[in-house]
Structure 1
Amino acid sequence: MSTTISENDVLDSALSAVATVIPLSMRPHHKPLLVHGSYVQASMGVLIAVIGELQGRLVLDASAATFSDVAEAMYGVTLEAEMLESFVGEIGNMVAGNAVSTLSNLGITVNISPPTVLVGETKIAGFQRGVHLPLELSNSGEMNVVWMTDERK
């Protein structure tokens, strides 16, 4: 592989994908934060594994109310319970798919796993390092975008 992959490339592709998929205005709450050892998502989220020239995990997490607001903005309906969980998985799939497309345009070949929906407080560990960027969604709360880099084996 001749392309150098940076965490900024991954985070930029994920942020671009979030902005493409979610029809709400958003802005970073503050600068990206480094994550070491583990990350705890507090309410609801989705994890997508990335494999190929790049190894890691993309996590989107927010409150159930924020995800419900996103569903309402996208489809005009309020979702709850299992339907909301299914929606969260699909949002993860759409964001990861868009991010992979952007990375592909940079010459980086990767694939993604099916989404894993996380409900309730969940500690995610076993990664080398991570970058966490909280986004403020207009009138809908905060969504966290987290990229976790796996060590090459």
Structure 2
Amino acid sequence: MEAHHINAITSAATTIVKQHLGIEAAVSKPFVSGKQFMSSDISVVMGVNGTLEGQIICTMKRETACSIVGSMMGGLEINELDEMGWSAVQEFGNWTAGKAASELSNVKETIDISPPVINEGQSTFRMEKTFLTFPLESDIGEIYIHVSVTPAKS
């Protein structure tokens, strides 16, 4: 993965949290997760296709997901995710991936994002390619952005 691809994706995530949720966020020290990693309570999984291909997976604790949903609903206190809450978590993934696609277009990459899939419960994700993980620190908790994208094979 090239630095300008990573910068575009992490910029997209912090922008979404700040602009759409009104919450300050910053990327802390990234690390290599390797070809597998253990997720948090809730994961939003999105496939990437186009000039780049791979996966973007956002993972978070349940409390963080509830805070995201509450912020999306105007500051409501959410303690449990219902169907509307799950839909909002998916939409958060859509926002993040859509903004990443926009940011990547600035560095001459064109990608399509698959509809997000939600995984509930801790899981081990495995892939042939290496994941880099970017912890996004915020007042509502950490969101881990796991990225594995490479140039598409022609």
TM-score higher than 0.5: yes
Contact 2:49 2:113 in 1 (8 A): yes
Cross-structure match for 1:125? 126
8 Å Cα contact 1:56/1:148 also seen in 2: yes
Matches within 5 A, 1:1-153: 6=2, 8-22=3-17, 23-29=22-28, 31-76=29-74, 77-79=76-78, 80-138=81-139, 140-149=140-149
Equivalences, count:
146
Unaligned runs of 5+ in 2: none
Report percent identity of matched pairs. 27
Residue 151 to residue 131, structure 1, CA distance change in 2 (3 Å)? same
* Separation of aligned partners in 2, 1:95 and 1:28: 14
Q: Deviations over 1:8-37 (max 9, x none)?
A: 2232222222222222111234x1101212
For 1:42, what is the secondary structure of its paired residue? coil
Shift of 1:70: 1.8
Say if 1:57 and 1:150, in contact at 8 Å, map to a contact too. Answer: no
Tell whether the 8 Å contact from 1:43 to 1:62 is kept in structure 2 after alignment.
Answer: yes
Q: CA RMSD in A?
A: 1.9
Partner of 1:10, secondary structure, is: helix
Question: How far did residue 83 of structure 1 move?
Answer: 2.5
Q: List alignment gaps of at least 5 residues for structure 1.
A: none
| Equivalent-residue separation in structure 2 for 1:150 and 1:119 (angstroms) | 27
- CA 1:53–1:151 in structure 2 vs 1: closer, same or farther (change >3 Å)? closer
